[in-house]
Structure 1
């Protein structure tokens, strides 16, 4: 049985830096999209909310129209009763019956007055709601237009980058399989804890990339020897020498060009 080839520290460092370059490329693509997906989602929610509001307002108008129709029916019923009571007054036998019918007529008159008052109030509500409906429709039209524009922007970016992003994500997973789990775990932890997602950085002008803290010459020599994985004491990032970084950048740029 063939003995499995042992991976050197240098090979691990190169694989880790390759993984970093792939993940940084994915970050760049996602940064280009920026807040657009969130903007589109927020606009979709707002448009949906305005549509629901519009439906409720139109439904309320229908209810008010039905209430007006109901009050008008009540008025017609009251008028019919008043006519009936007035006719009955012509055939009463005594004042008590006449007065009783008079009270019924007066009651129906009050019912008519109250119904007419309600109708006036309902009509005011209709005008107010129609005004709100007009404003809501205007707002909806403006938001739908904005949403269409933002979706167009997002779709254009996705059309340009989606294929590359999927290929890079697959590559990222592929490279992780080539690196021992312990290092992948450390890489992921560091990457999560730093703002720019850089877990593996080269030495630049005597300091870790993106850092102002100078690395002692002896440590720089150790990093350049590629005999062990060394982390920056200040940021916790994994360090590689600039020559290794430049070599891997050239290699990965060629790979990116093919995606």
Structure 2
């Protein structure tokens, strides 16, 4: 009875490891499909973000131009008011009764003249600012058109690749979901964590030339024997990947020797 129990435990671990390697094979194929797409999804996202930024910049430039135009109207109104005051003060100068009134009116004319000069200075500054912003709008709009054209091409390229690989990827994802229930939750979580941290996405590897198939560090003979017995899940002490023997992975000895 105890023998049957041990046998069931061994078979259970063996089946889990076999299922885990099968899952790894499917996930590696999904990774390959993603590699075919390359950096296109990221490029498309970066272009979309860049285009959104350019549109916001153009909108802000237009607001700046509108603000400078409003300020221009204010300065022109100030000039009109100052010119009106100067005209009145000059009329009053013709009817002054003493030097004190003459000096006061002359100073008012001088002050309003300075006000006009200051307003004209502001007008020139605003005009230059409007020209600068207008040029920036034109330049940014050109960049926007170029980016939109590139985005259209990138999206078309990505859509073509996605349409070619979508069915394969969906089929593989369904297969992966069907395999997952055959693996205990703890082992599956560990596998996914290892896969996320592995540069090549391999969470489980088989022994190659007496070494870990992930990091290629040497595995002691005793550890290799334990791996072949399939009694427990064993991880590489160097890279943390789960290890199985080539036979369980369905790899022939001559294939391992050639790698």
Do the structures match in fold with TM over 0.5?
A: yes
- Aligned Cα root-mean-square deviation (Å): 3.0
2:256 corresponds to which residue? none
Task: Classify the secondary structure of the residue corresponding to 1:92.
Answer: coil
Aligned to 1:123: 127
Counterpart of 1:139 in structure 2 is 143
Of residues 38, 43, 46, the one that matches 1:42 is 46
Determine the structure 1 residue equivalent to 2:84.
80
Q: Distance in 1 between matches of 2:187 and 2:81?
A: 87
| Structure 1 residue 171 corresponds to structure 2 residue 175 | yes
What is the DSSP-based 3-state SS (H/G/I as helix, E as strand, rest coil) of the residue aligned with 2:85?
helix
Once the 2 structures are TM-superposed, how far is the Cα of residue 93 of structure 1 from its aligned partner? Answer: 3.0
Deviation at 1:220, TM superposition (A): 5.4
Partner of 2:257: none
**Counterpart Cα distance in 1 of 2:239 and 2:117:** 82
Q: CA deviation at 1:80?
A: 1.6
Unmatched runs of 5 consecutive residues or more in structure 2: 1-7, 252-259
Tell me the number of residue pairs that the alignment of Structure 1 and Structure 2 aligns: 244
Instruction: Tell whether the 8 Å contact from 2:214 to 2:239 is kept in structure 1 after alignment.
Output: no
Q: Where does residue 55 of structure 1 map in the other structure? A: 59
Partners of 1:143 and 1:105 lie apart in 2 by 56
Which moves more between the two structures, 132-141 or 163-172? 163-172
- 1:183-206, CA deviations, whole angstroms, 9 ceiling, x for partnerless residues? 323322432343212222234444
* Aligned twin of 2:94: 90
Unaligned runs of at least 5 residues, structure 1:
248-259
Change (3 A) 1:72 1:229: closer
Q: Cα distance, 1:21 vs. partner?
A: 1.0
Structure-2 separation of matches of 1:92 and 1:235: 101
Of the structure 1 ranges 199-208 and 32-41, higher mean CA displacement relative to structure 2 is found in: 199-208
How far, CA to CA, are the matches of 2:197 and 2:102 in structure 1? 93
Cα distance in 2 for partners of 1:215, 1:245 equals 17
- The DSSP-based 3-state class of the residue aligned with 1:198 is coil
1:224 to partner: Cα distance: 5.3
Match of 1:149 in 2: 153
Measure, in 2, the Cα distance between the counterparts of 1:159 and 1:69. Answer: 57
The corresponding residue for 1:192 is 196
CA displacement at 1:118 relative to structure 2: 1.6
TM-score, scaled relative to structure 1: 0.79
Quote the offset at 1:19 in angstroms.
1.0
For 1:93, what is the secondary structure of its paired residue?
Answer: coil
Question: Secondary structure at 1:146's aligned position in 2?
Answer: helix
Structure-2 change in CA distance of 1:100 and 1:21 (3 Å): same
**Which sits farther off after the overlay, 63-72 or 191-200?**
191-200
Name 1:245's counterpart in structure 2. Answer: 249
CA distance in 2, matches of 1:180, 1:50: 50
